[in-house]
Amino acid sequence: MESVGTVKAAVIQLECKLSRSAGNMKRAERYILQAIEEGAQLVCLPEAFLTSGNILEVSEVAVTIPGECTARLGELARQGGVHLVAGLLEKDGETHYSTSVLIGPTGELLGKYRRVHCFELEKQYLATGDTFEVFETPVGRIGMLQGYDVNFPEATRELYRRGADIIVCSALIPEQYAYVTRQLLPARVIESQSYLLFVSGLGSNTFAGFSYMGGSEVLADPLFLEQEKFDFVDGDEHLLVMERDEGLRTVELDVRRLRKYRKERSLLGDLEPRTYWRETRAAAVARLGS
């Protein structure tokens, strides 16, 4: 595989409307084409971009993967020769997942990530995934996460151990968690020594009565940037920050330099896996509140 250099990544902060899949798809297509026009090589959409977080009706609105939607995304990816990451509610027989797909520049489905962490209520509707895979591509090793995963350092740590350069976190997070999420993102990017694309959806969930936060960000490990730049100031780890408007933004990621940094400053050798997770879940839960 030819060596990776800089990558132009596009973040599409989409307003995902409930019960308006066709309209959501149309707007997503428009932005993807615009991203291609702007020279993006990696184009990213939010979690459940087609249906919004309609888990109550997941059995009606979820799509198969591969299926009609991924075929259309594949066509667009092929047309622009880009890699594409998008979140979808997935239907697999009677089971449903919140899934992110990675589509390659020839339009083929390179892989998918079924969200591993689901909160209690979601678990009544969604099954959980069981692996954090990292995909080797010409634009770098790509790992995928979804919104709720940012609460779990275990998720980024796993992707880190598997060598992810770019973590695409397609998210759809209620606005009330915006503040904490913004606090967590820098931690996630530091502990994974990577680029983190937090691609966040907008819109409101009128079933549940809240809005989604938007506020997409692209971050890089600040220690890496400090080493790279003569003029780094605290906060510069946010390469891109979006507010609450729908839109498209692009950013350059220097994956080659990041890899070099990671090689020199890797945390991997200092991990002590023998000591982690020795407490059983049952014991930890039993202690809660006691």
Partner 1 sequence: MRVLLISTNKIRVPRPALPIGMAYISAALKAAGHEVHVLDLLWESRELKAVCEKLKQTPYDLVGVAVRNLDNLTFIDPIFFGPMTHKIVQAVRKYTSAKVVIGGSGFSVEPRSFFEYSRPDYGIAGEGEDAIVQLASYLETGLGNLGQIAGLCYMRDGKLALNPPSGTVDVTRLEPDRSIYDPRYFEETVAAASDLTRDYQPAIETLQTKRGCKMYCSYCIIKKTEGRGNRFKEPRQVVDEIKRAMRDNPQVREFEIVDATFNYPLDYAMEVCTEMIRAELKVPWYCQLTPNAITPEFVDLLERAGCIRVDLGTDAFTDEALEQLMKGFDMARVLEIDQLFTKSKLEHTHCVFLGGPGESPKALRESIDFTEKYLRPAQIYANLGIRILSKTKLQRQAIKAGIISENHNMFIPTFYVEPDTLADPETLDYVRNAYLRHKNWYLWWGIKGQRLVDRSVEVVKRVRDMHEEYNYVMKSLPRLEVWGEADEPSSETKLPVLKASGDFSRTVAQARSAAGNCT
Contacts (Cβ under 8 Å, ≥6 apart) of 255 = 4, 5, 6, 7, 139, 140, 165, 166, 195
DSSP 270: G
Minimum distance from residue 241 beta carbon to partner 1 (Å): 19
Tokens of 41: 């090589």
Q: What is the 3-state secondary structure (H, E, C) of 143-172?
A: EEEEHHHHHCHHHHHHHHHCCCCEEEEEEC
Minimum distance from residue 70 beta carbon to partner 1 (Å): 25
Cβ closer to partner 1: 79 or 206? 206
Per-residue mark of binding to partner 1, 146-185 (x: CB under 8 A): ----------------------------xxx-xx------
DSSP letter for each residue of 217-243: EEEE-HHHHHHH-TT--TTTTEEEE--
Residue 77 sits at the vertex; the CA angle it makes with 181 and 145, to the nearest 5 degrees, is 25
Q: Binding residues for partner 1, how many (CB under 8 A)?
A: 18
Q: How far apart are CA 77 and CA 71, in angstroms?
A: 10
Q: Does 209 bind partner 1 (CB under 8 A)?
A: yes
Q: How far apart are CA 143 and CA 248, in angstroms?
A: 21
Residues 39-68 that bind partner 1 (CB under 8 A): 56
Minimum distance from residue 60 beta carbon to partner 1 (Å): 11
Q: Does 19 bind partner 1 (CB under 8 A)?
A: yes
Per-residue mark of binding to partner 1, 71-110 (x: CB under 8 A): ----------------------------------------
Cβ closer to partner 1: 41 or 54? 54
Would you tell me which residues interact with partner 1 (CB under 8 A)? 18-19, 56, 121, 123-125, 174-176, 178-179, 204, 206-207, 209-211
